Amino acid sequence: MLDNSVHKFYGNFNNILSVLGYKRNEISAVHLVKSYCIPSLLYGCEIWSLNSCNYHKMNAIWNNAFRRIFQCCWHESVSCLLYYCKVLPMSYIIDQQKLLFIKKIRTCDNSVIRSFSAICTHQYGKILSKYSIHNLCSGVAELTRSLWRHFADTAIFS
């Protein structure tokens, strides 16, 4: 499941970097990767059941992409680059996608789809508590702020 998405991500990523060349604008590269690579990597992530190893793998893919774009040392943290480029770590992006998905299906007109959201409550409850989000009724902007606040509080800037 993840392997195909990872291959697509790296294929798109390498194409972008080869077109931009060696003396590329890093912020443009980040924007292009966010626009073209992330959707292929995260297609269907809303229904993935990921363990901590999978989350770590996804974060490593994203961190390594940043290291390559900014030509950083492979042993350095990229938290400060992510923060200043206004990009969340991959695990946060996945959780954000899941929360937005469940929020959308909870307000759907179809009763079958709404009942499906009740089945998934436990999985999404873990994500809500992880980021200290009290309920899913808050707006999209509030969910995003909560994720950013958590990232800023837990990121190690060295």
pTM as predicted: 0.88
Whole-number pLDDT of residue 48:
87
| Predicted pLDDT of residue 63 | 95
The DSSP result for 52-69, as a single string, is HHHHHHHHHHHHHHHHHH
The two structure tokens encoding residue 127: 């994500």
pLDDT score recorded for residue 128: 85
**Which helix (DSSP H) or strand (DSSP E) does residue 140 occupy?**
helix 140-154
Q: Into how many domains does the chain fold?
A: 1
Alpha-helical runs (H) found in 21-139:
26-36, 38-42, 52-70, 79-84, 90-106, 111-119, 121-130
Identify the pLDDT of residue 53: 93
Residue 125 domain boundaries: 2-154
Tens digit of each residue's pLDDT, the chain (158 residues): 678 899 999 999 999 999 998 888 999 999 999 999 999 999 999 888 889 999 999 999 999 999 999 988 888 889 989 999 999 999 999 999 999 988 888 787 887 777 776 776 667 788 888 888 887 777 888 889 999 999 998 886 64
Q: Is 143 in contact with 133 (CB distance < 8 Å)? A: yes
Position 120 scores a pLDDT of 66
